[in-house]
């Protein structure tokens, strides 16, 4: 396997309770005891209600935490009831932040809102997981590359620290459906994104990861995507047993 560090990011979405920290602890124990020889980094993104509790309970240096979203507020603290600034999630223990997830885009996160969130996250020195992806209809019309380019060029500010941005390609038609793109299709997508990010944003080594129905059965196939630096995992990351199987099958 490649010696590069592979990111495994767990997006718990709207799931979990304080008692579910045991799942995080089991994964951390596995990393500390069983995978010492590999470069690895696990990021858990639980609901914001659990973020502070989980980050304080954690004792493993191989586990980090992220937030699933922030508000597009331009202030760190103040009179904005219900808003969640980048500074607040960082104080809660987040090192990472998911921005641009398709489930947020459908509720109103347009290009401008996403750009504002990216700027706020960068200002607070959070590492960004920037989600992009096309619908099934867009794919069928052969518009995938056009859509991805549009999502990046219309939202990604060039003045932020681009070395702290990981690009998560998540085809919307693959999220939670069990459908996974072919390796040939993913190679085309990843090659396009790598070229675009190098030419338009001067990023020497873009970090691009894949998300969408990742599980322990398909990870061995997905690991063959040359430019892929990791995986954004949803439902399969909720239980330590399943998440550990994904990590084990990647390295074995």
Enumerate the β-bridge partners of residue 169.
132, 210
* 245 included as an active-site residue: no
Q: Which domains does the chain have, with CATH numbers?
A: 6-251 (3.20.20.70)
Alpha helices, H only, the chain: 21-34, 48-57, 86-91, 102-105, 111-123, 136-140, 144-155, 183-201, 219-222, 240-251
Catalytic residue among 103, 137, 170, 187: 170
The torsion of the CA quartet 223, 229, 235, 240, rounded to 10 degrees, works out to: 80
What lies within 8 Å, CB to CB, of 58 at 6+ separation is 24, 25, 28, 65
* 170 included as an active-site residue: yes
User: What is the Cα Rg of the chain in Å?
Assistant: 17
Give the Cα separation of 40 and 171 in Å (integer). 25
pLDDT in tens, 43-66: 999 999 999 999 999 999 899 999
Catalytic residue among 23, 101, 116, 134: 101
- The mean pLDDT value for 116-144 works out to 97
Q: Provide the pLDDT confidence category of residue 40 given band limits of 50, 70 and 90.
A: low
Question: Does the predicted model carry a pTM greater than 0.85?
Answer: yes
Give the Cα separation of 87 and 89 in Å (integer). 6
């Amino acid at each position: 396997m490649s010696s590069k560090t592979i990111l495994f990011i767990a997006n718990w979405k709207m799931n979990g309770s304080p008692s579910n920290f045991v799942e995080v602890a089991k994964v951390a124990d596995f990393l500390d005891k069983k995978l010492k020889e590999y470069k690895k980094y696990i990021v858990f993104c639980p609901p914001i209600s659990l973020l502070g509790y989980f980050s304080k309970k954690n004792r493993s240096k191989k586990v980090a935490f992220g937030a699933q979203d922030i508000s597009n507020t331009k202030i760190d603290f103040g009179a904005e009831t219900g808003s969640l600034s980048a500074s607040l999630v960082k104080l809660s223990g987040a090192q990472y932040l998911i921005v641009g997830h398709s489930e947020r885009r459908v509720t109103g996160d347009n290009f401008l809102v996403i750009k504002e969130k990216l700027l706020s996250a960068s200002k607070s020195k959070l590492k960004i997981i920037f989600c992009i992806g096309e619908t099934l209809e867009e794919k069928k019309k052969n518009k995938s590359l056009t859509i991805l380019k549009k999502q990046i060029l219309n939202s990604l500010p060039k003045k932020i620290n681009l070395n702290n941005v990981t690009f998560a390609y998540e085809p919307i038609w693959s999220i939670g459906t069990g459908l996974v793109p072919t390796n040939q299709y993913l190679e085309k997508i990843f090659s396009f994104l790598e070229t675009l990010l190098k030419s338009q944003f001067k990023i020497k080594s873009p970090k691009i990861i894949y998300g969408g129905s990742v599980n322990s059965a398909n990870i061995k196939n997905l690991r063959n995507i040359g430019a892929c630096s990791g995986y954004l995992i949803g439902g399969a990351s909720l239980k330590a047993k399943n998440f550990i199987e994904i990590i084990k099958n990647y390295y074995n």
